[in-house]
Structure formats: C-alpha cells, structure tokens
Amino acid sequence: MRRISKILSKEDHRVPDLALLGNAGNLIFIPFGGGHVRAWGQRLAPLGLPEFHLYDRELPPETDLRVQAAGLVNERDQCRAFVTGKRCLENYLHPDAIRSAGKIEVRFDDFDCLSKLTARELYQQRPGETPWQLRARRSQSRMANRAKRWLCTVAVDHMTPQLLAERDPSGEILSWMLAINEILKQ
C-alpha cells in the first residue's frame, strides 16, 4: 500500500503518500499477519483513534470472517474497513510489472495464489534443482512467502497508474486511498 500510494500520489493529489505519512509519525501500519481476523475488527477500538483496515479476501470460508471483521470496524466513527475484491493485494499487480521485475511470465487470475505461482516460476529458473512438485510443502510455502515479499516490494515498484488501471478497472485501490485521505482530514 505504501509503495502503490507513492506511485499514485504523483499523479493524483487526492492520494496520500502513505510512506511519507508513516515516516512522519502520522500513520501506524499494523499488519495482522493471520490470527483471528474478527478479533482485529475490535482490537484497537479502545484507543478511540481513527482506523483504516484492509483485509485480503482470500477464499471461503475465510472471506466471510473478513467481511464480518470489516463490518465491525465500519460501525465505529472515524473508522473504515474494506475487503479486497481480489484474493490478495498482490493480485492487483499487472503481469507486465512482474515480468519487468523478475524476467518471469506468470499467468494468474483474481483468485489465484499469486505468491505460490511466482515462487514456482522463480524456482524453475534455477537449473538443476529438484522439480517444484517434488519439493516439500513446507519448502514451497517458505518460497511462496519470499515471493510474496518480492511481489509487494520489487514488483510493485514496476507498477504505473496505467498498469494499475488495467488490473483495477473499478478503482478499488483508489477508493481505499481516498478513504484513508478522508480519515486523515478528520
């Protein structure tokens, strides 16, 4: 989110530069990284501060839990929560950005596990390795986690507003940025 906001804020003054605001101490990012998502919907409420929550949609039945958590947040003043329309935030990346970043071709749709597909493609570039399908599930998972970090840093830096518009024609990401901007103005 920080990286994509930096890219978008250069062309749209309504989009806050989240990295700049975070570095200035005006925002705090708290990745919940798993656990009980519904608890996160209320965990910070006692602070009485404005909040913005963004939950990856994932797949059912997890989706329903995330929608419920977002609902809890949205019931409070000065708080907004969204559930992505795609499986994960990285699914908004454009294949051209991934290709530019890693010289790999990854075909995916809105609900594929892009980190796993990317991990497999990056792994298969290494000659002489054990075939991907013979790797232990834990090994594949570790590689997928590294690929997720790579997608959310290196690949995002290859995005442009035009590529984002192609992957996000309904403007979800822009709506999240504008919601953050509204919260900041309160």
Amino acid identity at 56: D
Q: Taking a C-beta distance cutoff of 8 angstroms, is the pair 174, 167 a contact?
A: no
Q: Are strands 51-55 and 79-83 parallel, antiparallel or unpaired?
A: parallel
Taking only the tens place, the pLDDT of each residue in 12-27 is 999 999 999 999 999 9
User: Alpha carbon 41 to chain centroid distance?
Assistant: 18
Q: Could you state, in order of their start, the residue ranges of all structural domains in the chain?
A: 2-90+170-185, 91-156
Taking only the tens place, the pLDDT of each residue in 148-176 is 999 999 999 999 999 999 999 999 999 99
Taking only the tens place, the pLDDT of each residue in 27-81 is 999 887 767 888 888 999 999 999 999 999 999 999 999 999 999 999 999 999 9
Mean pLDDT of the chain: 94
Please confirm whether the linkage preceding 95 is cis (ω < 30° from 0): no
- Residue 20 tokens, joined: 């700049």
Radius of gyration of the chain (CA): 18
What pLDDT is stored for residue 32 in this prediction? Answer: 79
Query: Which residue blocks in 45-171 are alpha helix, DSSP H?
Result: 62-74, 95-102, 114-124, 137-150, 161-167
pLDDT > 90: what percent of the chain? Answer: 88
- Ramachandran angles phi, psi of 51, nearest 5°: -140, 150
What pLDDT is stored for residue 168 in this prediction? Answer: 98
